Amino acid sequence: MNRVKLHNKYFKLFIDAESIQSAISKIAEIINKDYKEKSPIFIGVLNGSFLFTADIVRKFKSNCEISFIRLSSYSGTESSGNVLEVMGLNEDIKGRDVLILEDIVDSGNTLVKIVDLLKKKQPKSLKIATFLFKPNAYKKDIPVDYVAMEVGNEFLVGYGLDYDGLGRNLEDIYIIEE
Ligand code: IMP
Ligand code: MG
């Protein structure tokens, strides 16, 4: 498919599935070396990173655990809509080597929140791998340790990324048509 329509917008083919897989193979090789003896916990951030997580862990050749988290607005008594908590982490990550797997890092706001929340659980190490990185949009100081592909600021869909819920199932990446 060269062009897809999601809701009211059109998107055109931008990165094909083969290029995605070859970029992922490259960082998977480095992750394999860095985590060989560590029995890491890979933590995928839902929903976007489900495909990236599946591809990375299938290429990881040593022992590892796999878990998923989701960020959700804090539902306690505080009324601020900005407070987030991490949902779904059942594993004790204290003293463990943790690698966060993200679909895309844009401004970095989401990442900073995840890192702050997970650091409180005292992992031995905490690193970040992302499928896509938007360097011109990134506003934070935390280093992004593993990046499969760098892209511009345009809005993308496919391979886990959605436009208002649609497009996550596409095996290629598509870019919005202006
Ligand atoms: P942040 O700005 O780094 O916090 O990114 C916030 C979230 O925005 C990401 O986790 C994605 O869910 C979403 N996002 C950012 N850029 C794109 C894009 O190009 N396509 C689809 N979702 C995006
Ligand atoms: Mg996301």
48 — pLDDT class (breaks 50, 70, 90) = very high
Ion ligand 2: protein residues whose beta carbon lies under 5 Å: 48, 103
- When the pLDDT of each residue in the chain is averaged and rounded to a whole number, the result is 93
Q: How many residues does the chain have?
A: 178
Predicted pLDDT of residue 119: 95
Residue 150 has pLDDT above 70, yes or no: yes
The strand pair at 97-105 and 84-87 is best described as unpaired
Predicted pLDDT of residue 73: 66
Predicted pLDDT of residue 178: 83
Residue 40 has pLDDT above 90, yes or no: yes
Looking from the CA of residue 162, the nearest atom of ligand 1 is 21
Instruction: Sheet containing 9-15: give its strands across.
Output: 3-6, 9-15, 173-176, 156-157
Residue 43 has pLDDT above 90, yes or no: yes
Output the CA torsion sign for 59, 71, 47, 110: negative
* Ligand 1 pocket: which of 106, 138, 150 to mutate (most atoms within 8 A of CB): 106
Listed range (26-30, 116-120, 166-170) with the worst mean pLDDT: 116-120
Q: How far apart are CA 86 and CA 2, in angstroms?
A: 37
Predicted pLDDT of residue 87: 85
Residue 81 has pLDDT above 90, yes or no: no
For residue 70, how far is its CA from the centre of ligand 2 (angstroms)?
9
